[in-house]
Structure 1
Amino acid sequence: MLGGALAAGAPARTAGGEPAVVFRNFAVSGALTRDVEELQTPAALSYGADIVSVLVGVNDTLRCAFDIQDVAVRLGRLCGQLAGQGALLLTACLPDPGTMLGLPAPLARPLARRQRAVNAVVHALAERHDTLHLHMSDAAWVADRSLWSADRLHPGERGHRMIALRFHTMLADRGLPVGPPPGLESDQSPPGRTAALLWLATAGTGWVVRRCHDLLPELLRLAGDEIRHRARGTSERLDQHAEAALSAALAALAALSPGAPFAGTGE
Structure 2
Amino acid sequence: MPTPYRSYASYVAVGDSFTEGMCDDLLPDGHYRGWADRVAEALATEHAAGGSGEGAAENSGEGAGFRYANLAVRGKLIGQIHDEQLATAAAMGAELVTLAGGLNDVLRPGCDIDEVERQLGRCAAELRATGATVVLFTSTDPTRRMAGSTRLLPTILRMKGFVQELGGQDGFAVVDLFSAPCFDDRRLWAEDRLHLSPEGHRRVAEGVLEALGRPAAFDWRAPLPAADRAGRAERLREDARWLGTHVGPWIGRRLTGRSSGDGRPAKRPELLPYQPQPQPQS
Distance 1:77 1:94, change over 3 A: same
Equivalents in 2 of 1:144, 1:2: separation in Å?
Answer: 22
Distance 1:35 1:201, change over 3 A: same
Per the alignment, residue 272 of structure 2 pairs with none
Distance 1:109 1:181, change over 3 A: closer
Per the alignment, residue 192 of structure 2 pairs with 151
Per the alignment, residue 225 of structure 2 pairs with none
Per the alignment, residue 62 of structure 2 pairs with 17
1:101-120 aligned at under 5 Å gives the runs 101-103=146-148, 108-120=149-161
The code of the aligned residue for 2:249 comes to G
| CA-CA distance at 1:99 after TM superposition | 4.6
Equivalents in 1 of 2:129, 2:89: separation in Å?
Answer: 13
Q: Higher helix proportion, which one? A: 1
Q: Report SS of the residue matched to 1:101.
A: coil
Per the alignment, residue 52 of structure 1 pairs with 97
User: Do the aligned residues in 2 keep the contact of 1:58 with 1:97 (CA within 8 Å)?
Assistant: no
**Among 217, 240, 248, the residue aligned to 1:205:** 248
Distance 1:61 1:81, change over 3 A: same
Equivalents in 2 of 1:213, 1:141: separation in Å?
Answer: 35
Equivalents in 2 of 1:2, 1:44: separation in Å?
Answer: 14
**Among 72, 87, 90, the residue aligned to 2:135:** 90
Larger RCO, structure (CA 8 Å, separation 6 or more): 2
Structure 2, unaligned stretches of length 5 or more?
Answer: 1-14, 21-35, 49-60, 221-229, 258-282
| CA-CA distance at 1:37 after TM superposition | 1.2
The code of the aligned residue for 1:23 comes to Y
User: Do the aligned residues in 2 keep the contact of 1:33 with 1:56 (CA within 8 Å)?
Assistant: yes
Equivalents in 2 of 1:136, 1:28: separation in Å?
Answer: 21
Q: TM-score, normalised by structure 2?
A: 0.58
Distance 1:196 1:183, change over 3 A: farther
Structure 1, unaligned stretches of length 5 or more?
Answer: 175-179, 185-191, 215-267
Per the alignment, residue 167 of structure 1 pairs with 208
Equivalents in 1 of 2:154, 2:171: separation in Å?
Answer: 25
Confirm whether residue 62 of structure 1 aligns to residue 104 of structure 2. no
Q: TM-score, normalised by structure 1?
A: 0.61
Equivalents in 2 of 1:120, 1:203: separation in Å?
Answer: 30
Confirm whether residue 32 of structure 1 aligns to residue 51 of structure 2. no
Matched residue count? 196
Which whole-Å deviations, capped at 9, do the CAs of 1:237-262 have from their partners, x for residues lacking one? xxxxxxxxxxxxxxxxxxxxxxxxxx
User: Do the aligned residues in 2 keep the contact of 1:90 with 1:133 (CA within 8 Å)?
Assistant: yes
Distance 1:36 1:4, change over 3 A: farther
| CA-CA distance at 1:208 after TM superposition | 3.0
| CA-CA distance at 1:24 after TM superposition | 1.3
Equivalents in 2 of 1:48, 1:182: separation in Å?
Answer: 31
| Cα root mean square deviation, aligned | 3.5
